[in-house]
């Protein structure tokens, strides 16, 4: 597990893959939410730990890693602070709808409720899902919902959900590369924001390739 240390409105996360990660603002509030902390009980590789004993890493760690990589990519491309905040927030939220055993049980959940993990992720980000945590959390412990956190920090839940779920992006395989001059592809916004989150080699894949190889001993 990552070690987290409070530091006056910030947290330092000592991640075994990326080293020191500092989070604050919207990322800190999301990382403290029950929705994201639920992912600390879901293994990234499902049942793979039965073959690879070290593969006990979780979707929580991966989500923090994706956010970190997305931020590095955005800053490296010289994006403005608002775009950096948007893509790093999309990165930390991208796996929010995963259920137990990750992809292993996804078909079962889809058959039961008619939604895959991406649809559930979108519902949680926008607040369209039922408030599942209210059933087992004391109201005083509940805290703000994900859309409330986003709005508090000046982010539009619908825009974040669209970025996470690739909504509004034109289908064009030739655009599966990072391209700062990609044009206005969705909501009048630049295509490269999509490409950091969804492309041939995006923040998600960069983190899970590094993280999975580290914990399975294949690095």
Q: What is the pTM of this model?
A: 0.81
| 179 is a domain residue | yes
Give residue 143's pLDDT. Answer: 81
Give residue 82's pLDDT. Answer: 95
| 43 is a domain residue | yes
| 158 is a domain residue | yes
Distance CA 100, CA 24 (A): 28
Give residue 139's pLDDT. Answer: 62
CATH number at residue 162: 1.10.3210.10
Count CB atoms within 10 A of the CB of residue 160.
23
Give residue 6's pLDDT. Answer: 42
**141-174 tens-digit pLDDT:** 678 999 999 999 999 999 999 999 886 555 554 4
| 198 is a domain residue | yes
| 18 is a domain residue | no
| 60 is a domain residue | yes
Residue 83 lies in domain: 25-216
| 149 is a domain residue | yes
**30-48 tens-digit pLDDT:** 999 999 999 999 998 888 8
pLDDT < 50 stretches in the chain? 1-8, 173-188
How many domains, in total, are found in the chain? 1
| 8 is a domain residue | no
């Amino acid at each position: 597990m990552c070690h987290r240390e409070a530091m006056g409105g910030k947290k330092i996360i000592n991640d075994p893959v990326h080293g020191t990660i500092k989070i604050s603002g919207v990322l800190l509030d999301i990382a403290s939410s029950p929705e994201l902390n639920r992912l600390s009980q879901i293994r990234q590789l499902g049942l793979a730990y039965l073959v690879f004993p070290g593969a006990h890493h979780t979707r929580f760690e991966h989500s923090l890693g994706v956010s970190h990589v997305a931020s590095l990519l955005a800053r490296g491309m010289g994006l403005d602070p608002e775009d950096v905040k948007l893509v790093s927030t999309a990165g930390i939220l991208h796996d929010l709808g995963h259920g137990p055993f990750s992809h292993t049980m996804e078909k079962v959940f889809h058959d039961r409720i008619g939604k895959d993990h991406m649809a559930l992720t979108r519902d949680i980000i926008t607040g369209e899902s039922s408030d599942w945590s209210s059933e087992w959390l004391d109201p005083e412990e509940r805290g703000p919902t994900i859309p409330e956190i986003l709005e508090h920090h000046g982010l539009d839940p619908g825009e974040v959900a669209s970025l996470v779920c690739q909504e509004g992006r034109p289908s064009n395989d030739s655009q599966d590369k990072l391209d700062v001059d990609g044009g206005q592809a969705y909501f009048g916004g630049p295509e490269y924001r999509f490409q950091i989150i969804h492309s041939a080699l995006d923040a998600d894949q960069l983190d899970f390739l590094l993280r999975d190889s580290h914990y399975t001993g294949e690095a």
